[in-house]
Structure formats: C-alpha cells, structure tokens
Amino acid sequence: MSPADADKSDKNGIEYFHIPDFTLAGGTTLKDVKIAYRSFNPTAPRTVLIPTCMGGRVNSMLNFTSGALRDYHVVVVAMIGNGESTSASNDPHFPSDYSLRYEDCVRAQFQLVTAHLHLSELEAVIGFSMGGQQAYYWAVMHGTGPQPFVRNVVVICGSAKTSGHNYAFIEGPISALETSSDYARGRYREMGVKPVQGLRAFGRAYAAWLTSAEWFRQELWTQFGARSLKEWLYPAEGEAPFEDWDAEDLLVLARMWQSGDVGSLVPAGDYRTALETVTARVLVMPSLTDQYFDAHDGEEEVKHLKKGVFAPIPTIWGHVAGGGANETDTKWVDGKIEEFLSGQ
Amino acid sequence: MSPADADKSDKNGIEYFHIPDFTLAGGTTLKDVKIAYRSFNPTAPRTVLIPTCMGGRVNSMLNFTSGALRDYHVVVVAMIGNGESTSASNDPHFPSDYSLRYEDCVRAQFQLVTAHLHLSELEAVIGFSMGGQQAYYWAVMHGTGPQPFVRNVVVICGSAKTSGHNYAFIEGPISALETSSDYARGRYREMGVKPVQGLRAFGRAYAAWLTSAEWFRQELWTQFGARSLKEWLYPAEGEAPFEDWDAEDLLVLARMWQSGDVGSLVPAGDYRTALETVTARVLVMPSLTDQYFDAHDGEEEVKHLKKGVFAPIPTIWGHVAGGGANETDTKWVDGKIEEFLSGQ
C-alpha cells in the first residue's frame, strides 16, 4: 500500500536510465532495461538512495528531503517490476515465472549509481518495507569491506529474510487475485480486461494486516476519510488500494518479497552469516506493532551486524507507521534518521 | 478451521431436533428447521452445551468428555448454517442475504435444550471461537437474574463483540472466495460446480492468521505433516481446510461472525451494558497470541462481568490453541475448565 497521499501517476521529475542488456538472476536476458528514478538536490555532495516499496511509485515515497535529508542529494529509484522501471506491464519479454529477485533490483540500481550518476560511494540507502529488504541486499552486496560503497543503511519495517509468517500473509492477497474471475488465470491482458475485482480483493485481503488491532479499536480509518469500516474496506470505484496497479506487476513483486533472503548471497546460505559480513552502519527500525515484518526479527538481525542500531517505532500504526501514514511516526522516523546519519 | 483431526463427515451419534416453524432475526420464517446435535453420557445429572465453531462439525469439536466433562451430560450442537443443522446448503429457502445471527442459533439451541431435552437448567455453555461468541450470547440471553438458566459460561478464544480488526481479517477470506472464478458470484450451484479454487483460496487467505509469528518461526506446520511451508499452504487435492465445505455456508457463517455483538440484545446497544446484566459465572479464556480474537478484548470484557474470570492461554499457537490443535494447550484448557466448574 502506498505510504503517501501523493498522486501515484505523477511523472514529475522522473528520469530513465537505460541498460542495453541485463541478465536477471532467473536467467532471462532483457534488452533495454529502463530504471526510473528522480534526483532531488543533485548538487549536494553526499547521495542517499531510496528504493520503492510494494505499491510505491517514485513520487509517492517518503523522501525526507524537507527533513533529515535536506542537505543530501536524494535519488528515489523504482525497483524493477513496479510499473515505472522495466516490468511485466511494460515489457512483453519480462519473465512470466515470477523469477525477479531483489539482487536484480540492486544490481540495476548499482549500475544507475555508478555508470550513470558517476558516484563512487553512497552515503546511505534507506528503504521501507520491500524497500527495506532492498536496503539489506545493498548492505550485503555493497556494504562490506574496510571502505564499503554504501556507508549507512536504514531498514524501516523490513527484514533481511522474509519470515514464514510474512510469506504466508502475502500468500492471502496473492490467492485472492490469482483466483479471481477477472484475472482469468493471467489471460486478462489478451482479453483486454483490467481485473478490477481481483485487484480490489487483493486490497481487502491485505487490509487487516496493514496496521494493528489497536488502530482498528480506535477506528483510525476515519483518518483516511472513511465514515465506516465497511466504507474503508470497500472504497469508491477507482479508489481502492492497488486498483490502479497491473495485476502481473503486483504478483511479480509479491513473489520477490516472499523470496527475500540475503542468505542467498553468501555460500553458507544463511542470512545471519550474510549480515556478519556487513561493515556499513545499519539502522534497523521496525514498527513495534507491525503484524508481518515482526520487530523481533529486527532484534535478532542487529545481533549479527557489526554496527547495527535497533530503534523500533513506538506506534499503534503497525506496518504503515514507517511509510508516511501519519505525521507523528513520520517525524519520529525522520528524527532517528537524522540522528543516525549525523552520529558517525 | 476445524480444530480436531476427526473425520468431518463422521455422522456417528448425530441426532436431529426439528422445529416446525422458526423465524430468524432477519425476518425469514423457515419450515422444519433441523438442529443437529450429539449427546454424550446422557444419564449424567448435569448438562453442558458445546456449540460448533467456524469450520467445525459436531464430531470434530473438542468435547472434553474424557477430561473436565467426564461426569457431565455433554451436548455438542451444530450452529445453524454449519451444514449439519439447517443451512444454505441443505434448505433451498434459507435466506440468501447473510442475515443469520447468533441470537437465531441460541434461540434454536434453547428450544432443543428445553422443549426436546426437557432440561430446566444448563450447568455450562462452553464454546471456542464462533462457539465462544455463541456462549456469550447464551450468557446475555439466559445467564441473567438470580437463578440463571445457564450457570457457567466458558468463552475460549471468542469475544462478546467482534472487533474491527477481526471483522477486517475475515473480510480477506470472504473476498478471496466471493471473487473467485468458480464461485461465479454464487451461481456455482446452478452450474453444478464445487468452487474448489475459491474454497482453497479462502483457506490460504486464512492461513497466516490461525497461529502466530513464533509458530511459523518454529516451523510448526511440520506437526501437521507438511514438509514445507508451501506444502502447508497448498495441500493435496481434497485436503485443504474448508475444501469440503459449501461456499455459501462459509459465507453465511463469516457474515454472522462479523455481526457478533451482544450489545444488539440490549436497548443501550452496548456490549458492556449487556455483559453487566450477566449473573452467570464466566470464564474468559483467550489465547495470548491470538491474532484476531485479541486477548486484550477479553481483559476488557471481564471488567464488565459480575463473576468473570480471566485466564489467557499461554501459548504460541495463536487462535487454534483453544480448538484442540496441540495436546499441551488442550490439557491446559481442560484443566482450567475443570477448576472453574468445580470452584462454585
């Protein structure tokens, strides 16, 4: 679910970096892969990269440019598959076997940062949710050794390895969409149909997970303008979360999310071993009430990080606390990032 | 999800009580309503009633007859709608507007107990999950005054009012089933189709909610014979939870569950006011890790009960801890019931 209220179709300031040939971890070689991104404050000396989250677009992400990152060059980048960068919805050669992996996203982002933006280091990679998982992949792929390419990593409501519980949760929305009549087992495109009912069901199977029991107890859906819980679950036509997404893009991202495990990057195959190689500083910032990116997993992760800091968000907003859903938590997160980046 | 491993099609010992005319809260009058039940140890002087839960059948419920209730006459009764008592699947006149309510179930069960079994009191009503919600309706409808008809009520992983979070959770499985292609907007029956894909998607959208994050961390799906999480989410054909259910029966029950609120039984319309009228002793036994019947709601409930006892189950098995999913919790629950019933 997109964290901010920004217009998701806003193409303002978006640029595209093209990679002529790009081989995905699954084996497919794609021609002319495009990576959508936006640069803020490009003349600042230090650069921070922010990859998108599930349901996120370049211009809907929190970018902290009026807070903690006001003095940084901030690059918000669309992960492969999100519909802005190369994706199932815009490249007919995109693999249909859901084999996109986080390491593909990070390899393409590394090319953007080095070959295109000509940077020799990143001050930080900051990500929320699936963006947080990409940040962990950055840490293991480019945050090691005495002079790590990325010096600081901030993981907001993410994890180094997708837990079984998290995997099982996202299988619910996946099942609702895949089984829906208008998704038509993936034939919706050739039939010229937008699977609106399937996309709306995907959103409803997601809804109770986003926040927390206490959030529902306080009926905080009113803060999104809903007059009743039913209205929140069944918004007006065109206004449901994910309703403007391509179904196949959502499924590609959801399957990548399920496969998340930085352990796959090291011979031992264990995420803890992988984290132990990281020399970058890492701020691990789960939400105390997150129902699927469990804060306990973050506590375990910092035990295996050389320079890990654990700072859970004290909130009843669950997962979305880290994505800009309310001003209080956003300020808290912004403050922690500022403190972390200035404390080197 | 059915708590026990019993064969759900087991009709052993099931009897039927017939009500010639029965008007539901929604206004429909049904002819020849049948209530399925089973009596254990019928000559014992004191009787305990156990209504079924979501996904439960008379012979799949925990009945405690070899433990806490060994010296009681135990009557396990199928709630209206479950496929054994009068339901959408076996009565063509059953209302199609999902207007079945818990008070209908309890009114029919009261007739069974008084007009058919000729009892003038119940020692206890004990229920798990939706059965626990029925037990709360029993408490408010027949557990008041100086000599309440039901003397003791045990609510295991239930609640007096369905919380917003709980409501939103069950909307996920509902959406997966209702949107599925083989459910065909309810036309599956006239098409002669069993909506297997929709029913299996219903089960998958339910799966991550049943237990807890820690349960998944310990990979306890192995205790159900699954060799991987994927195998647990995608069991063999015919073996998925709810796959043997009628789709419309599931939807009728899920909508009744969402509407659960004993406040609807009193003029004030508030569940707390309703609980304050209860003179029966009530054992409130949520699971500490239940993701949808939140233990905090149970804590709040006992504040409004004259004779309420709060005894949360210390477990990582989440909701299903109260339904017989593992021996340790079942023993703990059984022990608490024995202690509670002997402590009068």
**Encoded tokens for B109:** 């069960």
Q: Please report, for residues A273, B51, B149, B212, B248, the alpha-carbon distance to residue B77 in angstroms, rounded to integers and kept in the order given.
A: 54, 5, 17, 29, 20
CA–CA min distance A238, chain B (Å): 17
- pLDDT confidence of residue B6: 45
Total beta-carbon pairs less than 8 A apart between chain A and chain B: 114
CA–CA min distance B67, chain A (Å): 33
Determine the residue of chain A that is closest to B209 in CA distance: A169
Q: Please report, for residues A78, A134, A280, the alpha-carbon distance to residue A49 in angstroms, rounded to integers and kept in the order given.
A: 11, 11, 15
Q: How confident is the model at residue A294 (pLDDT cuts 50, 70, 90)?
A: very high
User: SS3 of A40, please?
Assistant: strand
CA-wise closest residue to B74 among B343, B341, B344: B341
User: SS3 of A179, please?
Assistant: helix
Quickly name the fold that domain A15-165+254-342 has: Rossmann fold (3.40.50)
User: SS3 of B292, please?
Assistant: coil
**What confidence tens digit (pLDDT) does each residue in B82-137 have?**
999 999 999 999 999 999 999 999 999 999 999 999 999 999 999 999 999 999 99
Determine the residue of chain A that is closest to B218 in CA distance: A164
Mean pLDDT of B61-69: 98
**DSSP-assigned beta bridge partners for residue A282:** A153, A308
**What confidence tens digit (pLDDT) does each residue in B9-23 have?**
678 999 999 999 999
**CATH number of the domain located at residue range(s) B20-160+274-342 in this protein:** 3.40.50.1820
Task: Give me the residue spans of the domains in chain B.
Answer: 20-160+274-342, 166-253
| Beta-carbon separation of A181 and B178 below 8 A | no
Give me the residue from A176, A212, A291 closest to B205, CB to CB: A176
Mean pLDDT of A306-330: 98
State the alpha helices, DSSP H only, in B282-343.
Answer: 295-302, 327-342
**Cα separation, B341 vs B224, whole angstroms:** 32
HEC letters along B158-209:
CCCECCHHHHHHHHHHHHHHHHECCCHHHCCCCCCCCCHHHHHHHHHHHHCC
Residue B4: pLDDT over 50: no
- pLDDT confidence of residue A3: 39
**Cα separation, B315 vs B329, whole angstroms:** 7
| Beta-carbon separation of B165 and A217 below 8 A | yes
CA-wise closest residue to A56 among A233, A338, A249, A238: A249
Amino acid, single-letter form, for residue A131? G
Give me the residue from A168, A213, A215 closest to B233, CB to CB: A168
| B182 in Cβ contact with B196 (< 8 Å) | yes
Mean pLDDT of A9-38: 95
**Cα separation, A160 vs A139, whole angstroms:** 10
**Encoded tokens for B15:** 């009897």
| Beta-carbon separation of A176 and B176 below 8 A | yes
Within 8 A of A181 by CB-CB distance, chain B residues are 179-181, 184-185
Within 8 A of A291 by CB-CB distance, chain B residues are 291
Residue B7: pLDDT over 60: no
DSSP string, B68-122: TTTTSEEEEEPPTTSSSSS-TTT-TTS-SS----HHHHHHHHHHIIIIIT--S-E
Determine the residue of chain B that is closest to A293 in CA distance: B213
| Beta-carbon separation of A171 and B207 below 8 A | yes
When computed from its CA atoms, the radius of gyration of chain B, rounded to whole angstroms, is: 19
Determine the residue of chain A that is closest to B292 in CA distance: A213
**Cα separation, A317 vs A244, whole angstroms:** 24
Mean pLDDT of B44-51: 98
Determine the residue of chain B that is closest to A289 in CA distance: B291
Interface of B to A at Cβ within 8 Å reads 163-165, 167-169, 171-173, 175-176, 178-181, 184-185, 197-198, 200-201, 204-208, 212-213, 215-217, 219, 229, 233, 291-292, 294, 296
Interface confidence, given as ipTM, is 0.95
3-state percent helix, strand, coil for chain A, nearest multiple of 5: 40, 15, 45
Strand (E) positions, B193-329?
281-285, 308-310
Residue A116: pLDDT over 60: yes
Question: Which class for A239: exposed (0-12), middle (13-18), buried (19 or more C-beta within 10 A)?
Answer: exposed
Q: How confident is the model at residue B8 (pLDDT cuts 50, 70, 90)?
A: low
- pLDDT confidence of residue A321: 98
- pLDDT confidence of residue B5: 42
Interface of A to B at Cβ within 8 Å reads 163-165, 167-169, 171-173, 175-176, 178-181, 184, 197-198, 200-201, 204-208, 212-213, 215-217, 219, 229, 233, 291-292, 294, 296
Q: What is the DSSP letter of A115?
A: I
Mutate one of A163, A169, A179 to test the B interface: name it (highest B CB count within 10 A).
Answer: A179
Q: Please report, for residues A228, B160, B250, B260, the alpha-carbon distance to residue B163 in angstroms, rounded to integers and kept in the order given.
A: 13, 9, 19, 9
Q: What is the DSSP letter of B324?
A: T
By percentage, how much of chain B surpasses pLDDT 70?
Answer: 97
- pLDDT confidence of residue A9: 67
